[in-house]
Amino acid sequence: MPFTSVKVIAFDADDTLWANEIFFREAEDKFCSLLEDYLPQHTVNRELLKTEINNMGLYGYGIKAFMLSMIETAIRITEHKVPDTVIEEIIKIGKEMLQKPVNLLPGVEETLKTLNGSYRLVMATKGDLLDQERKLKKSGLEKHFHHIEIMTEKKEPDYRKLISHLDVEPSEFLMVGNSIKSDILPVLKVGGFAIHIPYHVTWEHEKLDLEIEDEKFEQLENLSAILSWLK
Amino acid sequence: MPFTSVKVIAFDADDTLWANEIFFREAEDKFCSLLEDYLPQHTVNRELLKTEINNMGLYGYGIKAFMLSMIETAIRITEHKVPDTVIEEIIKIGKEMLQKPVNLLPGVEETLKTLNGSYRLVMATKGDLLDQERKLKKSGLEKHFHHIEIMTEKKEPDYRKLISHLDVEPSEFLMVGNSIKSDILPVLKVGGFAIHIPYHVTWEHEKLDLEIEDEKFEQLENLSAILSWLK
């Protein structure tokens, strides 16, 4: 089978190794409740997403960006009538997110430990530098990784750079992640392998429905399934 | 002279390669003016610094962290009476900071170009990932660097990690920067060389007045002076 040339396995972190999106969902719910006197919750949610996408280029990904977009949305949709206590509450929601525990997904620790002998393991994640380092530390997974790459984007040029930095050929590189858009498609495009492990919650902005037909692609149900797949 | 063993030169970026602190100073001034109806400007400034230091562990460095701390300070010192328009103004100040031009300090381009043949050059900077990458791109300096390291902290363990990652001995590593606290002391502690190039504006939190007596240390007036120093 074609995956035999793989030497390096890169893992996405959020919602591949540990739960993450769920905390954003919880925060969004709290935010929408805070503003329900002004607008219906689903409208608030849509407005927030709009703000986030508008700010993406300037702020990038992560909790601080999310906090700033919540504040901006609150001011806009209340037409400058949002009480300071609500903004204070938004800051509190964000600070709580920054202190959440790191809950590993099932089988993660064991899978990394087993693969570590036979492959060079890398963590390749998007997001806020400090926050991703915090989660990595809390996760206790650092010891399994040869290299940690925290990226501002996960597009084709970013993967090309990473693969070249790791000093391997694209055909020796396998990416494992939960986002078709960020972890799978760009990697297949640059000639690497990709395994998709869907997560039950996906951020609207990362959603993408399509069938992938590629011998360098596989979809598995959970991380542990990689062990038997690569055997 | 002792600097002859140096193989890698790492440069701090903000206020070593390009102006940065000056934009924070400008933003602080605007922030203090916004709130002068509530408190004298120097008190606002002191309160802001207090908030920033309190939030450092959670937010880290960078403009987004600074924006969130300004908002929090505005709410606190007005006792929840800050108008939404002021918060909106704070967000605007921050977004403007994120789009500032990158002004190289005198002699930077030429110095890097000249050193590039004889040394491996590295950029080692603290701060927000996306924002530092933005500045690097705008600076046009990327081509001179063998490696870019964006760090959450610049303490002894961080430098040990960087030096080991670069595959050199501490005695082959020279750090050049404007902050005694972040660029000089920890590097000398781990056995590396350090050159201090003072910048006329230093953030309160990075200030440190002391005399350094170390044969691995030198203070120079500007970046170009490195060329004759290392000759």
Residue-wise pLDDT tens digits, A46-79: 999 999 999 999 999 899 999 999 999 999 999 9
Q: Please check whether residue A71 is in contact with residue A83, taking contact to mean a CB–CB distance below 8 angstroms.
A: no
- Its domain, for residue B58, covers 21-98
Please tell me whether residues B93 and B106 are part of one structural domain. Answer: no
CATH code at position A55:
1.10.150.240
- According to the model, what pLDDT value does residue A210 have? 73
Q: Pick A29 or A203 by higher pLDDT.
A: A29
- Interface of A to B at Cβ within 8 Å reads 58-60, 64-65, 67-68, 71-72, 75, 78, 80-85, 87-88, 91, 94-95, 98-99, 128-130, 133, 150, 152
Please tell me whether residues B73 and B137 are part of one structural domain. Answer: no
- According to the model, what pLDDT value does residue A206 have? 65
Please tell me whether residues A107 and A209 are part of one structural domain. Answer: yes
Q: Please give the residue of chain B at the shortest CA–CA distance from A80.
A: B84
Please tell me whether residues A117 and A192 are part of one structural domain. Answer: yes
* Residue range B39-55, pLDDT digits in tens: 999 999 999 999 999 99
Neighbours of B157 (CB within 10 A): 10
Kindly calculate the radius of gyration of chain B based on its CA atoms and give it in whole angstroms: 19
**Structure tokens of A79?**
């037409």
Please tell me whether residues A109 and A82 are part of one structural domain. Answer: no
Sorting pLDDT into bands at 50, 70 and 90, what band is A207? low
Cα distances (Å, whole numbers) of residue B3 to B10, B116, B184: 14, 16, 15
Paired with B123 in beta bridges are B11, B148
CATH code at position B216:
3.40.50.1000
- According to the model, what pLDDT value does residue B208 have? 65
Please tell me whether residues B72 and B119 are part of one structural domain. Answer: no
- According to the model, what pLDDT value does residue B33 have? 96
Contact across the interface for B98 and A59, Cβ inside 8 Å: yes
Closest residue to A64, CB basis, from B68, B80, B133: B68
Burial A43-79, CB ≥16 within 10 A → b, else e: ebbebbbebbeebeebbbbbbbbbbbbbbbbbbbbbe
How many Å separate Cα A10 from the centre of its chain?
13
Please tell me whether residues A131 and A225 are part of one structural domain. Answer: yes
> Domain end: B98, B128, B156, which one?
B98
Between CA A130 and CA B64 the distance in angstroms is 12
Please tell me whether residues B143 and B49 are part of one structural domain. Answer: no
Please tell me whether residues B8 and B83 are part of one structural domain. Answer: no
Is the pLDDT at B7 greater than 90? The verdict is: yes
- According to the model, what pLDDT value does residue B117 have? 87
- According to the model, what pLDDT value does residue B103 have? 95
Is the pLDDT at B198 greater than 70? The verdict is: yes
Is the pLDDT at B205 greater than 70? The verdict is: no
Strand ranges (DSSP E) for chain B? Answer: 8-11, 120-126, 147-151, 173-177, 193-196, 217-219
Q: Please check whether residue B146 is in contact with residue B120, taking contact to mean a CB–CB distance below 8 angstroms.
A: yes
- Nearest partner of B154 among B8, B34, B33, B14, judged by Cα: B14
Identify the residue whose tokens are 């869907």.
Answer: A198
> Domain end: A54, A70, A98, which one?
A98
B80: left (phi over 0), alpha (psi -120 to 50) or beta: left
Cα distances (Å, whole numbers) of residue A132 to A61, A135, B205: 11, 5, 24
Please tell me whether residues A90 and A123 are part of one structural domain. Answer: no
* Residue range B8-20, pLDDT digits in tens: 999 999 999 999 9
* Residue range B113-158, pLDDT digits in tens: 999 989 999 999 998 889 999 999 999 999 999 999 999 899 999 9
> Could you tell me which residues come within 8 angstroms of residue B107 by beta carbon, excluding any fewer than 6 positions away?
B222, B223, B224
**Across residues B225-231, what is the average pLDDT?**
91
- According to the model, what pLDDT value does residue A201 have? 73
pLDDT over 90 for what percent of chain A?
A: 88
| Mean per-residue pLDDT of chain B | 94
- According to the model, what pLDDT value does residue B231 have? 80
- According to the model, what pLDDT value does residue A1 have? 60
* Residue range B96-116, pLDDT digits in tens: 999 999 999 999 999 999 999
Chain B residues close to A94, C-beta within 8 Å: 68
Sorting pLDDT into bands at 50, 70 and 90, what band is B1? low
Sorting pLDDT into bands at 50, 70 and 90, what band is A100? very high
**Across residues A190-209, what is the average pLDDT?**
82
Please tell me whether residues B114 and B11 are part of one structural domain. Answer: yes
Provide φ and ψ at B159, rounded to 5°: -70, -35
For A147, the enclosing helix (H) or strand (E) is strand A147-151
Torsion, Cα of A149, A150, A155, A161 (10° steps): -40
ipTM of this predicted complex?
Answer: 0.90
Please tell me whether residues B42 and B75 are part of one structural domain. Answer: yes
What's the number of domains chain B is made of?
2
**Across residues B74-100, what is the average pLDDT?**
97
> Domain end: A68, A98, A128, which one?
A98
Q: Please give the residue of chain B at the shortest CA–CA distance from A72.
A: B88
Between CA B201 and CA B205 the distance in angstroms is 12
Chain B residues close to A56, C-beta within 8 Å: none
| Whole-structure pTM value | 0.91
Which range is least confidently modeled, A15-19, A65-69, B72-76, B149-153? B149-153
